[in-house]
């Protein structure tokens, strides 16, 4: 029972890290990004990745090891929807990550494509 509580705690902690990193990235977004801002965004993007790994690993541990039996989650369509949405979000978040890493060594201001920035 204690193991399940600890894993659930890490699962929720990972979700909070994900949301916090997304909010921080959103606040730092602009049409033009200076190299200093880009370094901050890359750091926050790495924190986002760590949060995603925590959520994924804790979720898999909950699914296969502790808590309810795996058949409880495997037979639940809501679980499948959540897992699919998580994987879809991971794939979509790879696009900005690749862009940031390609621009990492730039010494000039970077103009961010509209596909990455969503606000005016």
Residue 118 placed within a domain: no
Asked whether residue 46 is assigned to any structural domain, the reply reads: yes
Instruction: Identify the pLDDT of residue 33.
Output: 83
Q: pLDDT band at residue 85, thresholds of 50, 70 and 90?
A: very high
Q: Is residue 116 part of a domain?
A: no
Model confidence, pTM:
0.84
Residue 120 predicted with pLDDT over 60: no
99 domain residue, yes or no: yes
* 59 located within any domain: yes
In a domain, residue 82? The reply is yes
CA proximity to 18, closest of 50, 58, 54, 51? 51
Which residues sit opposite 81 in a β-bridge?
none
Through-space distance between the first and last CA atoms of the chain, rounded to whole angstroms:
48
Does some domain include residue 76? yes
- List, for residues 34-50, the tens digit of each pLDDT value: 888 888 999 999 999 99
Q: How many domains does the chain have?
A: 1
Q: Which domain holds residue 73?
A: 2-111
Q: Rounded to whole angstroms, what are the CA distances from 120 to 30, 98, 112, 114?
A: 8, 22, 12, 9
What pLDDT, on a 0 to 100 scale, did the predictor assign at position 119? 53
Across all residues in the chain, what is the average pLDDT?
A: 89
């Amino acid at each position: 029972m204690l193991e399940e509580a600890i894993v659930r705690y890490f699962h929720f902690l990972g979700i909070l890290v994900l949301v916090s990193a997304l909010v921080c990235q959103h606040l730092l977004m602009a049409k033009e990004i200076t190299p200093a801002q880009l370094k901050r965004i890359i750091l926050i993007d790495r924190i986002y990745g760590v949060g995603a790994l925590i959520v994924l690993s804790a979720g898999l541990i909950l699914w296969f090891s502790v808590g309810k039996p795996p058949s409880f989650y495997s037979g639940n369509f809501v679980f499948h929807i959540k897992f699919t949405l998580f994987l879809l979000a991971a794939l979509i978040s790879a696009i900005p990550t690749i862009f940031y890493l390609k621009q990492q060594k730039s010494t000039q201001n970077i103009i961010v494509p509209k596909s990455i920035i969503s606000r005016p």
